[in-house]
Structure formats: structure tokens, C-alpha cells
Amino acid sequence: MRSYETSVPSYGDAMEFEACGECGATGRWGTCEQLFHVLLALDHERRQPWAAYHSVNVACYLLQHPSLASREVLAGQWSIVAIFVDEGLEAVHTLTARAVRRNNCRASGRAEIVGRPAPQAVRPVGATIEDVSVDGSFPATGYEGRIRLWADATATARAS
């Protein structure tokens, strides 16, 4: 890939990145999958502000890339996004803690959150994981606000 210093802008430049066929991200900081792995690594370090939003991140990512999950799984993820948008992060933590307790009782090993019907196809226009990443690094400053934009965009895409 050419560096920005030496490149001469032309109409062909946009073709250097492969846009995501599901969420529409441009791919300029890597594929959505690569960005998701960067984000998961931050979540799993249990550092804030990232860790608190882990379940919301996963839900937004899967709903914006519905080919990666079954309808059943997407229904559960949709509940997380809807509750986050409507009631906030604490309500999400209550929901996921309850689901973990239920799973522990059953020992089924399967995450299960009883879901609202999932969207057939989500085509976000407002914000993607690329926007949350800012420059591919998911900086802490403004992170919470960007997650809210991502969740709002995911919820709006479902309604349209």
C-alpha cells in the first residue's frame, strides 16, 4: 500500500480499500473482522472504558454482520442493543448477568438471552465499527459516545 506522503489523490484511490459488504465500512483501517479482534483484545484486558461495553460491542458487531450468526443468536444480540439504547449500560449488565446465571444452572454451556425478533438484514448508515475505532485503535477518549452512536445506528437500521 502506498503511504499518504507519496500518494497523489486520484479517483482510483478509493479502490485500494475493500469496503465491507455487510456494514458498509470503507476498510481503510483494516477489515471489520480485524478491527473486531483489536476491540476484543481491549475488552479482554478488562480495562475501562472498553471492558464495560463488551456485550454491546459483540451485539452491534454481529447485528451489523448478520451472516456470522444464526437468527436465534441475532435475536439475543438484538435484545442487548435495544436495552442499551432504551435503558442504558446498567440494564445490559443486569440482562447478561441473569443469562449467565441461567446458563450456569443448566450447565448447557450455551449463552442464551431470550431475544426479541431479530432484524432480517441490518444495513447501518450512521456508524460502523470503523467509526468506533476512529483510526483503527479505539482510543479511550470519547469511546462511550461512539459506542452509543454505533448502537443507535444499529437500532435505526433495524427499524428502517
CA-CA distance, 81 to 159, in Å (whole number)? 13
Looking at the DSSP bridge assignments, the partners of residue 28 are 30
CA-CA distance, 112 to 122, in Å (whole number)? 21
- Name the minimum Å distance from CB 51 to Zn ion: 23
Q: Is 20 in the site for Zn ion (CB under 5 A)?
A: yes
Contact pick of 9, 13, 23, 118 for Zn ion (by CB under 5 A): 23
CA-CA distance, 54 to 11, in Å (whole number)? 38
Name the segment binding Zn ion (CB under 5 A); options: 2-10, 12-20, 80-88, 132-140.
12-20
CA-CA distance, 5 to 62, in Å (whole number)? 36
Name the segment binding Zn ion (CB under 5 A); options: 11-19, 32-40, 87-95, 152-160.
32-40
Q: Could you tell me how many residues of this chain bind Zn ion (CB under 5 A)? A: 5
Name the segment binding Zn ion (CB under 5 A); options: 16-24, 70-78, 96-104, 137-145.
16-24
Contact pick of 3, 18, 19, 32 for Zn ion (by CB under 5 A): 32
Residue 45: CB partners within 8 Å, gap ≥ 6? 51
- Name the minimum Å distance from CB 87 to Zn ion: 26
Q: Is 25 in the site for Zn ion (CB under 5 A)?
A: yes
- The alpha carbon dihedral of 27, 33, 36, 41 has a sign of negative
Q: 32 or 52, CB closer to Zn ion?
A: 32
CA-CA distance, 131 to 133, in Å (whole number)? 5
Binding residues for Zn ion, rule: CB under 5 A, are 20, 22-23, 25, 32
